């Protein structure tokens, strides 16, 4: 009997950040917000210098159609794949209060679930 192994990708929210950000701990609050909603996520760095572009790339790659982008200036954008690239749903900054960042992450999860935002 021959067994085949199939690789599959777990549906998740993609968080893409610009390679200039070396410390991922800056956006832990965002990830904790996503985790609170029970949605899986994947974090990767890319050589793209625009948060809108990063979030749009994440949303188009995600099977859940939601992406978050963070550029080296600390600008954070949350978008859905049906929105225009330059018109994200939410925008924040890494310098914002931790509760703002956690709410942004939670709202990404709520966007997937289709429930009201925080």
pLDDT in tens, 48-87: 999 999 999 999 999 999 999 999 999 999 999 999 999 9
Q: Which domain holds residue 71?
A: 13-113
User: pTM above the 0.95 mark?
Assistant: no
Number of separate domains in the chain: 1
Residue 63 maps to a domain: yes
Residue 5 maps to a domain: no
Residue 89 maps to a domain: yes
**Quick one: the chain helix, strand, coil %, rounded to 5?**
35, 25, 45
Which residue in 88, 70, 94 sits closest to 102, CA to CA? 94
CA distance 38 to 2: 36
Q: Under a CB-based contact definition with an 8 Å cutoff, are residues 69 and 51 in contact?
A: yes
> Residue 84 sits in a domain of what CATH number?
3.40.50.10150
Residue 4 has pLDDT above 70, yes or no: no
Residue 8 maps to a domain: no
Residue 118 maps to a domain: no
């Amino acid at each position: 009997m021959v067994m085949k192994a199939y690789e599959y990708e777990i549906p998740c929210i993609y968080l893409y950040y610009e390679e200039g950000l070396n410390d991922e701990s800056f956006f832990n609050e965002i990830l904790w917000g996503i985790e609170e909603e029970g949605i899986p996520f994947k974090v990767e760095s890319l050589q793209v210098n625009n948060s809108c572009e990063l979030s749009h790339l994440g949303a188009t790659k995600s099977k859940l159609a939601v992406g978050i982008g963070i550029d080296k200036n600390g600008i954070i954008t949350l978008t859905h794949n049906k929105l225009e690239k330059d018109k994200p749903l939410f925008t924040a900054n890494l310098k914002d209060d931790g509760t703002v960042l956690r709410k942004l992450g939670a709202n990404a999860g709520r966007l997937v679930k289709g429930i009201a935002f925080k």
